[in-house]
Structure 1
Amino acid sequence: MSDDMNAAGGPAGLGRRAFLTAAGSSLLLPVATRGQTAPPALKSGPAALPGPVESIDLWPGGAPGMPRTPPTETVNERSTDPAKLNDRAVLGITRPRLVVFRPARPNGAAVMITPGGGYRWVVVDKEGYELGRLLAARGITVFVLFYRLPGDGWAAGPNVALSDAQRAMRLIRHRAKDYGIDPARVATMGFSAGGHLCADLLTRFATPTYRGIDAADRLSARPIAAAPIYPVISMSAPHAHAGSRELLIGKDAPRSLEDAHSPHLNVPADAPPVFLAHAEDDKTVPVENALLLRAALKAKGVPVETHLFNEGGHGFGLRFTIGKPVAAWPDLYLNWAKGLFL
């Protein structure tokens, strides 16, 4: 894999090495936050770029509904050459938190990112930190959400990740002045199973999934715009991603539970505008997932911009787009966002 992205591979020609290097330095302006759980990181081992250090715990008194046997947070390095490019995944999250990427010159907009991982883990780099650096280089304040996983036995069950996403959106708005952002300009973006969480939030932002604990919970969890990228959407055969479905609702879930957690079946009239991107050759999460959501949004009159690419596979993020038409998706997203919250 090349360490450089061609001119079409990053927003407005921003090369991959350029935005990674720049965002790894002064663009992030990291500030350590006392009393907060540190961002997920390996205890030892090389890292290609400096990691973020600023984080915000979602639940000051601890996450609600702790399993009787709490999971243990573990970060696995999946890269064959982590000295060059990390590919980490975190499992067993018990202290869900937002990891912050501050731009050098905030433009007032914010994006909350929900990385994928099939609801088995949460991807750190490929669908989290790399996007955080790219968007921060464009003046956007980015919050990468490390959410709890439904297979770990939390009391909220299949709503546990949505509870974290709702709470996170409210906290971002509540602390908007701390980050120089406009609370009305907070969007969300998610990938794969994180795309399902993104879609779940854009459709069920007003659904009560936890008991409020402070003033932040009186704020809206509705994002100003949402971008599910190669998202898991349907929880029913034949288009459901089997692994995400089993961990979210269980292998033998009834149709009623499938429907309750299939975002395309729960679109409200006041859902925010949506940007969709998916590759036609995705063999992991069929492109029909994006098409189902698009059709449901159109039926409710919700603005939706859709980009389908002939080649790209699943999980392309940024690093696997080089030399493919799908490399255009970040530019397309930023152009779309200019009319909404940028």
Structure 2
Amino acid sequence: MTIDRRTLLAASLAAVPASAAAASVTPATTIALWPGEAPGLINRSLTEIVLERSKNPAVRDRALTNIRRPRLDVFRPARPNGAAMLVIPGGGYQRVVIDKEGYEIGPWLAERGITAFVLFYRLPGEGWRDPANTPLADAQRAMRLIRARASEYAIDPTRVGAMGFSAGGHLCADLAVRHMRRVYTPVDAADTLDARPMLAAPIYPVVSMDAAIAHAGSRDALIGASPADSFVTEHSPDLQVTRATPPMFLSHAADDKTVPVANSIALHAALRDAGVPVEMHLFERGGHGFGWGRRTAGLSAHLWPELFLAWARTHASVR
């Protein structure tokens, strides 16, 4: 079915934790990333589709495909503390997850005073020029738009971070290491602003494009099944770390059978070698795709969001 914006936003309330709903934190605002059509559109028949993947009617697990109009859905706290997070859901670069890595973590952050901007980004295989850099173009543009509209949302533009999950974790890390890479032509004054997140939190992230440890589905969707060595290097965040890379928080479960934990370990090593502040939590159990924590109830991995907040406070991004 084609997406209906009001239906999608209203239905998202079913995924909001009870405490967040009580605080009236809802994704009531949407910001289009680009004026008019997004740059580089080739497939003009692209029409958005929402897929419901959950077999449990009490738990929503939707994903969005055929994304033609990338955007930010905003979760606004009742009492903003000035901090903001760009939230980047995963989906193997073949879809963008809506609920467990977007509409659930958004209210969780907003409950704690952090304005959350959930990014629905374009996918490389859906008809765009320069497909491997199309998701990064949306992430860079999103960071700049958040800063451009900081006063509207009571945000300190120096306190904007990024968080991503799985393939969204790759995009989060890619933004952190290639925030200065020009991947689109500026369209307005917002594009004069910095795209560098003040900190980044890739959660169970796809990182390496090395076939030995890469998540094959994400790799093939982003750079193809037989990429040149230069493409592998360019799109592996662990090989692009510099001293300009922002501090990072990494979280991964050792029993992840989808994205090998070696991805986070490689990124951690690269950050350490470059002298970039980094904290990593490797949990014994949790599997892949546990989102904001509800799916790991009873496990230590359930604690990762609170661990992230404690770490972020040491870097003055949340208070």
Q: TM-score range by the shorter chain?
A: over 0.9
Deviations 1:261-280 (A, max 9, x none): 00000012111100000011
Aligned to 1:89, what secondary structure does the other structure show?
Answer: strand
TM-score (norm 2): 0.92
Deviations 1:71-109 (A, max 9, x none): 221001111123x11100000100000000000000000
Distance 1:135 1:222 in 2: 20
One-letter amino acid of the counterpart of residue 191, structure 1: F
One-letter amino acid of the counterpart of residue 206, structure 1: M
One-letter amino acid of the counterpart of residue 200, structure 1: D
One-letter amino acid of the counterpart of residue 43, structure 2: R
When the two structures are aligned, how many residues end up with a matched partner?
A: 303
Distance 1:332 1:304 in 2: 13
Instruction: Determine which of 133, 146, 156 is the counterpart of 1:159.
Output: 133
Aligned to 1:179, what secondary structure does the other structure show?
Answer: coil
Residue 285 (structure 1) aligned with residue 282 (structure 2): no
> Quick check: 187-196 or 330-339, which moved more?
330-339
Residue 90 (structure 1) aligned with residue 87 (structure 2): no
Matches within 5 A, 1:1-342: 20-28=17-25, 30=26, 52-82=27-57, 84-317=58-291, 318-340=293-315, 341-342=317-318
CA positional deviation for 1:319:
2.5
CA positional deviation for 1:69:
4.0
Moved over 3 A (4+): none
One-letter amino acid of the counterpart of residue 237, structure 1: A
CA positional deviation for 1:24:
2.5
Deviations 1:227-261 (A, max 9, x none): 00000001112100000000000111111111110
Distance 2:311 2:48 in 1: 37
Distance 2:229 2:106 in 1: 37
* Contact 1:226/1:272 (8 A) holds in 2: yes
Distance 1:81 1:67 in 2: 37
CA positional deviation for 1:315:
0.6
CA RMSD in angstroms, aligned pairs only: 1.4
One-letter amino acid of the counterpart of residue 143, structure 1: F
Deviations 1:133-178 (A, max 9, x none): 1010000000000000001121121000000000000000000000
* Contact 2:87/2:102 (8 A) holds in 1: yes
Distance 1:53 1:91 in 2: 21
* Contact 2:164/2:203 (8 A) holds in 1: yes
Distance 2:202 2:256 in 1: 15
1:284–1:152 CA distance, 2 compared to 1 (3 A): same
- Partner in structure 2 of residue 48 of structure 1: none
Distance 1:112 1:22 in 2: 22
* Contact 1:148/1:161 (8 A) holds in 2: yes
TM-score (norm 1): 0.86
